[in-house]
Structure 1
Amino acid sequence: MQDISIMSLIFTAALTLVCLFLILSPFFKLGSLNFHFHKSGQEFTSTKEALLTTLNELEFEYKMDKISAVDYQHLKKQYEAEITRIMKDEEQAAKSAVDSDIMAEVEKEIAAEMKNYKNKKGEGK
């Protein structure tokens, strides 16, 4: 152990840390995270606004040469895909709300017709 100097120990430790960082960093990148929000109403809007703001900031950083063109395009595609998904979810939520309102109205009409039918049937006896 006397042959190994302190400098070689430090170099080995630094090399090991760099290797671990390179291996583990893809798992912790913000850009690689998939955001899946299952929200409704106002929460859709606030999430969409936050993503649009982030997209705007991303474009600003790209124009200021703070990020590379490759990173910009990659992140831009991810945020745009998420915004598109949220807009589709908003549309689906609006459709299901309309569908449930229509179904409630139809059920009320059926109940009223059944009541009228029973009343008519009772009068006819």
Structure 2
Amino acid sequence: MHDISILSIVFTAVLALVCFFLILSPLFKWEAYLTFTPKDQDLSVTKESLLTTLNELEFDYKMDKISPSDYKSLKKQYEEQVAILMKEEAQTADKQVDQDIMAEVEKEIEAQLKELKKKKGEGK
């Protein structure tokens, strides 16, 4: 009889923890922890948000919501960030092109080696 009560206590505790987890799990954004986004995608999203912010900044300036000095300093700051992101995008694009070219060159080399091996086999 003593074993059954310990087993039932353990089972009840596990069941309570599972229920507690199921009740609270919708409150957490598990997708944020589970999804993987490539760095290139992050750069484009960040650049897009910065450009949107620049547009909103200009709109606010034209509507006289911010002072000219604030507008100039914020605009310069955001433009510098966009320039940095554009340089990073260009570098990643160059690296991708380089990798594609290298893969193509390697395929051509392998094809030529196969042809040479076939010619050596025919010459014997």
TM-score w.r.t. the length of structure 2 is: 0.62
**Counterpart for residue 68 of structure 1:** 67
* Larger relative contact order (CA 8 Å, sep ≥ 6): 1
Alpha-carbon shift at residue 46 of structure 1 (Å): 1.7
**Counterpart for residue 87 of structure 1:** 86
SS in structure 2 at match of 1:53: helix
The one-letter amino acid paired with 1:81 is: E
Aligned structure 1 segments of 4 or more residues deviating by more than 6 angstroms: none
**Counterpart for residue 121 of structure 2:** 122
**Counterpart for residue 78 of structure 1:** 77
The one-letter amino acid paired with 1:51 is: L
- Count of paired positions: 87
Supply the distance in 2 between the matched residues of 1:93 and 1:55 (Cα, whole angstroms).
24
**Counterpart for residue 47 of structure 1:** 46
CA RMSD of superposed structures (Å): 1.8
Q: After superposition, what is the alpha-carbon deviation per residue over 1:61-82, rounded to whole angstroms, capped at 9, x for unaligned?
A: 2223332211211110111111
5+ residue gaps, structure 2, are: 1-37
5+ residue gaps, structure 1, are: 1-37
Percent identity over paired residues: 64
The one-letter amino acid paired with 2:118 is: N
* Correspondence list, 1:96-115, <5 A: 96-115=95-114
Q: Which structure shows the higher helix fraction?
A: 2
Supply the distance in 1 between the matched residues of 2:72 and 2:109 (Cα, whole angstroms).
55
Alpha-carbon shift at residue 105 of structure 1 (Å): 0.7
Supply the distance in 1 between the matched residues of 2:110 and 2:43 (Cα, whole angstroms).
35
